[in-house]
Amino acid sequence: MSGTWMTTRAWLLMLPLLVVMVAVIGWPLVDTVGLSFTDAKLIGTGGNFVGLDNYTNMLSSTNFSRTLVTTTLFAVISVAAEMVIGVLAALLLNQQFHGRAVLRALMILPWALPTVVNATLWRLIYNPEYGALNAALTQLHLIDAYRSWLGEPGTALAALIVADCWKNFPLVALIALAALQAVPRDITAASLVDGAGPFNRFRFVILPYLAGPLMVALVLRTIEAFKVFDIIWVMTRGGPANSTRTLSILVYQEAFSFQRAGSGASLALIVTLLVTVLAVAYAALVRKSAGSAT
């Protein structure tokens, strides 16, 4: 069989997928780009062409810069915490001990819960009048009066990050655990014979095996954290005083609450661009680390 026929056949086999991709991703994207140059409303007429106005207005607004800072803070801190806690949990669950299977199954639970359920749960925990967190902290004498965790700008974002970590570290742990189980026993045994301590064994023997899969987890989680919407919408709706408003909430308000579809589209594209840049940068890192591991 000739090479060109193989290529043609490959393309033919991929054709249905390509058609679907163009229909569900390509066309809406093109449509959104077109929309972002107009002053279209969500309902009603198509709107007039306004050039780059939506972009310049959005990028120069204090709302945007403030929201970008909040989103970045949220993404960086929560993803970093999820990576650390996830790896530690994986190392723990990789040990042989009684009840390990039960613990592994339990760990998946937060991740399997729908985000809205998770958010409602944490709202109850943080409740300023009857919440479990206040009760626990006062009984431990760590605070002397009940506090409004989601009502103060200083603590609201931190409280959201904790809730997000609780939900998402299991994903990192799961990926890390799978990678850990691929580490050959004889290598870890050899490092023990050579006298490597626990830290060195982790750093030089185990981590190279983890690096690739953890990079994948890092990319996935960063992209998701950057787009965070539901957990924040349920818990604070961006408050108090907009201190927890992220980019996705800004897109939602602009496009749906205020019905400015054009302006909302431009903002959504800015967010898409930011996330794409992050993803490409990470992908380059993954390739590099994959190269160094082998």
**Alpha carbons 104 and 89: distance in angstroms, whole number:** 10
> Using the rule CB under 8 A, is 240 a contact of other proteins?
yes
- Distance set, CA 228 to CA 107, 250, 277 (Å): 22, 11, 17
**Alpha carbons 190 and 96: distance in angstroms, whole number:** 19
The number of residues that bind other proteins (CB under 8 A) is: 24
> Using the rule CB under 8 A, is 65 a contact of other proteins?
no
Give 71 or 134: the residue with its C-beta nearer to other proteins.
Answer: 134
Enumerate residues 6+ apart whose C-beta is below 8 A from 270. Answer: 55, 58, 59
> Using the rule CB under 8 A, is 241 a contact of other proteins?
yes
Of 40-48, 52-60, 80-88, 222-230, which segment contacts other proteins by CB under 8 A?
A: 40-48
Enumerate residues 6+ apart whose C-beta is below 8 A from 206. Answer: 180, 183, 188
> Using the rule CB under 8 A, is 236 a contact of other proteins?
yes
> Using the rule CB under 8 A, is 32 a contact of other proteins?
no
> Using the rule CB under 8 A, is 257 a contact of other proteins?
yes
Residues in the chain: 294
Of 15-23, 106-114, 147-155, 279-287, which segment contacts other proteins by CB under 8 A?
A: 147-155
Report whether 53 contacts 47 (CB < 8 A): no
> Using the rule CB under 8 A, is 46 a contact of other proteins?
no
- Distance set, CA 125 to CA 10, 29, 122, 131 (Å): 54, 40, 5, 5
**Alpha carbons 6 and 27: distance in angstroms, whole number:** 29
Of 39-47, 64-72, 90-98, 106-114, which segment contacts other proteins by CB under 8 A?
A: 39-47
> Using the rule CB under 8 A, is 34 a contact of other proteins?
no
Give 43 or 182: the residue with its C-beta nearer to other proteins.
Answer: 43
> Position 176: which residue type?
A
Give 10 or 135: the residue with its C-beta nearer to other proteins.
Answer: 135
Strand partners for 49 = 38
Give 97 or 130: the residue with its C-beta nearer to other proteins.
Answer: 130
Give 57 or 94: the residue with its C-beta nearer to other proteins.
Answer: 57
Which two tokens mark 142? 């760590």
Of 2-10, 76-84, 85-93, 256-264, which segment contacts other proteins by CB under 8 A?
A: 256-264
Residues that bind other proteins (CB under 8 A): 41-44, 128-130, 148, 150-153, 236-242, 253, 256-259
